[in-house]
Amino acid sequence: MGSLDTHPMSFSASPYDKAAFEPLNPEDVRAYLHKAVDFISDYYTTVESMPVLPNVKPGYLQDELSASPPTHSASFDVTMKELRTSVVPGMMHRASPNFFAFFPSTNSAAAIAGDLIASAMNTVGFTWQASPAATQMEVLALDWLTQLLRLPTTFMNHTSTSHGTGGGVILGTTSEAMLVTLVAARDAALRRSGSVGLSHMTRLVVYAADQTHSTFFKACHLAGFDPANIRSIPTGPETNYGLNPTKLLEVMQADVDVGLVPTYVCATVGTTSSNAVDPVGAIANIATMFNAWVHVDAAYAGSTCICPEFRHHLDGIEHVDSISMSPHKWLLTCLDCTCLYVRDAHRLSDSLETNPEYLKNDATESGEVTDLKDMQVGVGRRFRGLKIWMVMRTYGTAKLQEHIRSDVAMAKMFLDFVRADNRFEVVVPRNFALVCFRIKPSGCMTEEDADEANRQLMEKLNKTGKVYLAHTMVGDKFILQFAVGSSLQEERHVKSAWDLIEKTTSTIME
Amino acid sequence: MGSLDTHPMSFSASPYDKAAFEPLNPEDVRAYLHKAVDFISDYYTTVESMPVLPNVKPGYLQDELSASPPTHSASFDVTMKELRTSVVPGMMHRASPNFFAFFPSTNSAAAIAGDLIASAMNTVGFTWQASPAATQMEVLALDWLTQLLRLPTTFMNHTSTSHGTGGGVILGTTSEAMLVTLVAARDAALRRSGSVGLSHMTRLVVYAADQTHSTFFKACHLAGFDPANIRSIPTGPETNYGLNPTKLLEVMQADVDVGLVPTYVCATVGTTSSNAVDPVGAIANIATMFNAWVHVDAAYAGSTCICPEFRHHLDGIEHVDSISMSPHKWLLTCLDCTCLYVRDAHRLSDSLETNPEYLKNDATESGEVTDLKDMQVGVGRRFRGLKIWMVMRTYGTAKLQEHIRSDVAMAKMFLDFVRADNRFEVVVPRNFALVCFRIKPSGCMTEEDADEANRQLMEKLNKTGKVYLAHTMVGDKFILQFAVGSSLQEERHVKSAWDLIEKTTSTIME
């Protein structure tokens, strides 16, 4: 910022003026951020006592804060005060140790520090040259993570220390990972089938189990697949809601028989609803027969594969085309951080490359570097590699494994509580740290009555503010989800939650 | 995190153990983050003396850091040391006051604090219920910004304090804003034209000037538009490289005459190459005749419209369907923060809504709330509203206007320097804070010689590490771009840069 003048038309360049508006004045930065840090540390200390789900009405914030922006500046303390008094009471506190809904958003001191430094450096590493360290750190962090996950070297980047043929990129969400791989697969299938432009587009078909995250079907829609060609393959209890490879084969063959082109199969390791696991290897074998791209969505459960005892869920991964997993879910890295790996990086960049004049540079032209803009939707990108590197660098593999195991152990403990109480049933096997359970029909209770009882139980529990858990439907049954893993969670929180569930159930069953 | 045990198979639930791994221990959080804050404040103090563009080779970081993740944890100080010694020297320093390339990524203490708190709270506000305050803060911040920009109320949300019929959402990049509006426009055009599924897809046509950001053409590709139907309309010096409405009308009418369906027009206010401005009102009038969606990309220059003297660039905005602008470019808000407004929010959500069981809730069903997941690519989302609100709340409108005017004044000063030196020419008029200039051909110098001289000048300048500027091609000429606005920039930096340009040119011209 240079010197300033509030009369726009009479503005003239004047000598450097210390009283000018300096939004990045280093001492202001230090003062504001130290205040923010103390707020955060205090927040973590007290969040346990706040209602997890706030009791606010739509529009409450508009009623509390000014409807218009202020003309004049205020002390940063005023901003922080409004944050404390108006914003915090309206938050759903995912950082609360009493949060058991959806999947946890795990976090850590190292990750927040990395994200903070990225915000301050404000790097935009679209090309290698636009910030060599940012691109190389992303490559390094992704390669480290392949080692933690024991992914084949074919998913690693080709660097001085690795002979990988693939590569990776850090995106915001799994949806973006699905979208860019769908587009790459779409373009490859169009080329293969001899399409002129889009002429064969209505022949391309994509496949996933009906338990696949809804965002997959949205990503197919965004990428322009015909709604009639998006196959949602039914699953059932016989495969614990995992995709049945035999069914997949039948559906794909039937499509080929009528002249359609199988293009993409999405397999999930740890579905959102019940943590089902699609058999990766078997699916890859079938898809390969049809030349279809296989993507593995391991957004949540992928993190467990850093522990040898969970790694078998990725058996066959060497035969898939891409895999994505989100350290912002279960690897202690704050939003947003989804790692996408592809076995052949060129298959992505062939579809997504742009080459505007103002980004041309020698490094790109040498072919020796990765320009990460060519593996994502947009051009601009945050320096996301820093936080995930800081997590791995600071905590190390052993502690990260301990973190996963601790959460799984707490989920097992909760499962034991449920099993010991014969009013409940466990609906699907627990694979990771999600327990799907419900009050089971007993006596003259019908299935519908049980659904209603479970609905009531969830509502009563969540209204207390002392826990928050979500629901799903599995096989037409209303199911409660209990997801362990919020980063401040300890066994005592799981035990307290169970006590509350147990007592609330008693009042409902009366 | 609960208690821990490194023997996975023998793990048993044990009493709460203070020695357990606690990645969010409030005192560790305080300690790590205070260290990060001090690093940042020191960085801003010293970044001026660092080479803007680092002198590192591809793979340098892989050579300096371990190729594999560590097994054991380290002190956070070790991580910070590696950041200082290995990462910082490989950064291109966009925060440097000597950075004049591309567009600046402006930033401020308030924005970084807001982003930091968002990282720590780790909110995932996909639905209103998933964090009421996060959704409402985003709505409030966007509505404040409409007032700063004097957008018509039709772009505001319908809330207790506004009777808007539209709405907005904060996305990561302009590319995402283009993609989601392209998909909405695509679906509407398919419905309108009576398409069965995608049957009419190859008839849909999109339009933009040839100066439009390359990411627009990529977004069209992602959304499945036929490459043959993506019109890049040539521009020239007669319109200062802005889109000529007469040409647009001709092209659209010609398409209609052969049975094609005009679907979407992208107008840019402040192009990346030369800051050209497409005439918004005239374009909207033409597009409306054909029922095509009009999107305005004001990623960079939109921020200037908070000053009355620049607002005329948006004249006619009340007739467009959507507009996006990126406070992470010029409104002191760190990446990523792109604000997308649509005149009819339902036109977005009709295309992008998903409704999985586990996200069903009473608030959504009441129809009284906005679920922001239905206006974006994915489901998960950072709490981006906080930082932009903190910027407006802390600094106020007057200071934000001063910030824009100060940058523009410095650009004018630089322009005066260039004009006073008859070795140079200014290639296009300066509209905002970007100056496009070049060494002009003189004596026996051909146009090719001049291009080569400018290329040499840029390379020599950038190699000094004392400035960094980028280039573009305008009308077949190699042009230097000088973009003022890095948040630590003062007049003295612009003057020093000019001195260096002036001297380096002398050595080249010899």
Q: What ipTM was assigned to the predicted interfaces of this complex?
A: 0.95
Residues of chain B with C-beta less than 8 angstroms from the C-beta of A131: 90-92, 94
Cβ contact (<8 Å) for A1 and B140? no
Q: Which pLDDT value is given to residue A162?
A: 66
Per-residue pLDDT band for A354 (boundaries 50, 70, 90) equals confident
pLDDT of residue A14: 40
- Given this model, what pLDDT does residue B161 score? 65
- Tell which B residues from 427 to 466 touch A, by Cβ distance under 8 Å: none
pLDDT, position A12: 37
CA angle B334, B335, B340 (to 5 degrees): 110
Residue carrying structure tokens 């009355």: B308
Question: Strand order in B477-483's β-sheet?
Answer: B424-426, B434-439, B477-483, B470-474
Domain holding B465: CATH number?
3.90.1150.10
Q: Are residues A128 and A51 in the same domain?
A: no
The answer to whether A250 and A289 are in contact (CB under 8 A) is no
Dihedral, B366, B372, B375, B380 alpha carbons, nearest 10? -130
Question: Is A334 found in the same domain as A412?
Answer: no
- Residues in B closer than 8 angstroms to A12, CB to CB, are 409
pLDDT at site B369: 85
Structure tokens given for B60? 């340098």
Q: pLDDT at position B147, please?
A: 96
Whether residues B379 and A175 touch (CB distance < 8 A) is answered with yes
Chain B CB within 8 Å of residue A67 CB: yes
**Statement to judge: residues A216 and A120 lie in one domain:** yes
Q: How confident is the model at residue B15 (pLDDT cuts 50, 70, 90)?
A: very low
Residue B105 is assigned to a structural domain of this protein: no
CA–CA dist B32, B485 (Å, integer): 31
- Does any CB of chain A come closer than 8 Å to the CB of residue B228? yes
What's residue A18's pLDDT? 39
Q: State the best of B14, B18, B29, B39 to mutate against chain A, taking most chain A CBs within 10 Å.
A: B29
Residues B41 and B60: their CA atoms lie apart, in Å, by 26
Rounded to 10 deg, the angle between the A174-192 and A214-222 helix axes is 50
> Which residues share a beta bridge with A224?
none
pLDDT of residue A366: 85
User: Per the CB < 8 Å rule, is B369 touching A175?
Assistant: no
Q: Do A133 and B61 touch (CB under 8 A)?
A: yes
Enumerate the active-site residues of B.
358
3-state secondary structure of A269: strand
Asked whether residue B106 carries a pLDDT value surpassing 80, the answer given is yes
Residues A379 and B215: beta-carbon distance below 8 Å: yes
DSSP-derived secondary structure for A170-236: EES-HHHHHHHHHHHHHHHHHHHTT-STTTTGGGEEEEEETTS-HHHHHHHHHTT--GGGEEEE---
A315 and A371 inside one domain: yes
Strand order in the sheet with B167-171: B167-171, B338-342, B322-325, B293-297, B261-268, B204-209, B230-233
The pLDDT score that the predictor gives to residue A10 is: 35
Q: Determine the average pLDDT of the residues in B14-42.
A: 85
Q: Is residue B406 part of a domain?
A: yes
Is B5 a residue whose pLDDT tops 60?
Answer: no
Say whether both A258 and A367 belong to one domain: yes
Are A265 and A208 in contact by the 8 Å Cβ rule? The answer is: yes
The domain boundary residue, chosen from A61, A93, A125: A93
Q: Which residues of B fall within a CB distance of 8 Å from A30?
A: 37-38, 40-41
Q: According to the model, what pLDDT value does residue A7 have?
A: 39
Based on the domain organization, do B154 and B213 belong to the same domain?
yes
- Total domains in chain A come to 3
Q: B128–A58: do the CB atoms touch at under 8 Å?
A: yes
pLDDT of residue B227: 94
Q: At A361, is the secondary structure helix, strand, or coil?
A: coil
- How buried is A458 (Cβ within 10 angstroms: 0-12 exposed, 13-18 middle, 19+ buried)? buried
pLDDT surpassing 90 at residue A356 = no
Query: Which helix (H) or strand (E) is B255 found in, with range?
Result: helix B245-257
Task: Count chain A–chain B contacts defined by CB atoms under 8 A.
Answer: 635
Give the pLDDT band of residue A16 (cuts 50, 70, 90). very low
Could you tell me if B256 and B366 lie in one domain? Answer: yes
B296 located within any domain? yes
Domain boundary pick from A350, A368, A393: A393
Amino acid identity of A258? V
DSSP-assigned letter for residue B422: T
**Residue A358 among the catalytic residues:** yes
Q: Read off the DSSP letter of residue A311.
A: G
Q: What pLDDT score was predicted for residue B368?
A: 83
Confidence of residue A19 (pLDDT cuts 50, 70, 90): low
Average pLDDT over residues B176-200: 95
Domain assignment present for residue A228? The answer is: yes
* Radius of gyration (C-alpha) of chain B in whole angstroms: 25
**Whole-number pLDDT of residue B362:** 86
pLDDT digit string (tens) for A366-395?
A: 888 889 999 999 999 999 999 999 999 999
Best interface-test mutation with B: which of A32, A131, A355, A494 has the largest number of B CBs within 10 A?
Answer: A32
User: Which residue has tokens 């199988």?
Assistant: A262
* Higher pLDDT pick, B201 / A1: B201
- The residue segments making up the domain with residue B340 are 113-393
Classify residue A12: in a domain, yes or no: no
The answer to whether the Cβ–Cβ distance between B396 and A162 falls below 8 Å is no
| Residues of chain B above pLDDT 70, percent | 95
Answer yes or no: is A416 within a domain. Answer: yes
Contact A336 B380 (CB under 8 A): yes
Q: Are A411 and A405 in contact (CB under 8 A)?
A: no
Residue A8 lies in a domain: no
pLDDT of residue B361: 87
Given the structure tokens 């080929």, which residue do they identify? A256
As a whole number of angstroms, the distance between CA A423 and CA A418 comes to: 9
Q: Under 8 Å CB-to-CB from B404, ≥6 apart: which residues?
A: B303, B304, B306, B307, B310, B330
pLDDT, one tens digit per residue, over A41-65 is 999 999 999 999 999 999 899 999 9
Comparing alpha-carbon positions, the chain A residue that sits nearest to B199 is A202
Question: What is the mean pLDDT of the segment spanning A221-238?
Answer: 97
CATH code of B81's domain? 1.20.1340.10
Alpha-carbon distance of A354 to B218, in angstroms, equals 7
With bands split at pLDDT 50, 70 and 90, how would you rate the model's confidence at B469?
Answer: very high
Helix (H, G, I), strand (E, B) or coil at A479: strand
Q: State residue A461 phi and psi, 5-degree precision.
A: -60, -50
DSSP state of A154: G
A456 vs A365, residue with greater confidence? A456
- Catalytic: which of A16, A300, A358, A468? A358
Tell the burial category of A358 from Cβ atoms under 10 Å away from its Cβ (0-12, 13-18, 19+): middle
Among chain A residues, CA nearest to B480: A358
Q: Chain B window 114-143: which residues touch A at a Cβ cutoff of 8 Å?
A: 115-117, 119-124, 128-134, 136-137, 139-140, 143
Are A69 and A140 members of one domain? no
Between the two ends of chain B, the Cα-to-Cα distance in Å is: 68
pLDDT tier at B10 (50, 70, 90 boundaries)?
Answer: very low
Neighbours of A8 (CB within 10 A): 16
Touching check for B26 and chain A: CB below 8 Å?
A: yes
Give the least confident one: B65-69, B271-275, B367-371, B465-469. B367-371
* Average confidence (pLDDT) over A9-19: 40
pLDDT digits over A152-192, tens only?
999 998 766 666 778 899 999 999 999 999 999 999 999 99
Task: Let me know whether A255 and A354 are in one domain.
Answer: yes
CATH number for the domain harbouring residue A202: 3.40.640.10
Q: Which helix (H) or strand (E) holds B37?
A: helix B26-46
The pLDDT value recorded for residue A355 is: 83
Is there a contact between A147 and B21 if contact means CB atoms under 8 Å apart?
no
- Mark whether B210 and B308 lie in a shared domain: yes
Nearest CA in chain A to B158: A59
> What does each C-alpha distance from A46 to A51, A273, B268 come to in angstroms?
11, 31, 47
The pLDDT mean for chain B works out to 93
- Between A83-92, B172-181, B341-350, the lowest mean confidence (pLDDT) is in B341-350
Q: Which residue of B has its CA nearest to A405?
A: B8
Pairing outcome for strands B477-483 and A477-483: unpaired
For B112-145, the pLDDT digits (tens) are 999 999 999 999 989 999 999 999 999 999 999 9
Lowest-confidence region among A331-340, A479-488, B149-158, B491-500: B149-158
Write out pLDDT tens, residues B327-374. Answer: 999 999 999 999 999 999 889 999 999 888 878 888 888 888 889 999
Give dist(CA B400, CA B145) in Å, integer. 12
Candidate from A14-23, A138-147, A285-294, B134-143 with smallest mean pLDDT? A14-23
B-chain CB neighbours of A132 within 8 Å are 54, 56, 58, 60-61, 90-92
Q: Which residues of B touch A179 (CB under 8 A)?
A: 222, 377
Name which of A92, A296, A335 is nearest A213 in CA terms: A296
The answer for residues whose C-beta is within 8 angstroms of residue B123's C-beta and 6 or more apart is A91, A92, A94, A335, B131, B134, B382, B383
Do A410 and B13 count as a contact with CB atoms less than 8 A apart? yes
Alpha-carbon distance of B400 to B331, in angstroms, equals 7
Q: Is residue A99, in this structure, part of any structural domain at all?
A: no
- Cβ atoms of B94 and B485 within 8 Å: the answer is no
Answer with the one of B62, B95, B128 that is the final residue of a domain. Answer: B95
> Residues 6 or more apart from B488 whose CB is under 8 A from it?
A1, A24, B44, B47, B48, B95, B96, B97
Q: Which residues of B touch A161 (CB under 8 A)?
A: 62-63, 67
CA distance A388 to chain B (A): 11
On whether both B439 and B379 belong to a single domain, the answer is no
Per-residue pLDDT, averaged over A182-210, amounts to: 95
The C-alpha atoms of residue B123 and residue B146 are separated, in whole angstroms, by 25
Same domain, B346 and B412: no
Locate B359 and state its tokens. 């996200």
Arithmetic mean of pLDDT, A218-245: 97
Indicate the pLDDT class of residue A9, thresholds 50, 70 and 90.
Answer: very low
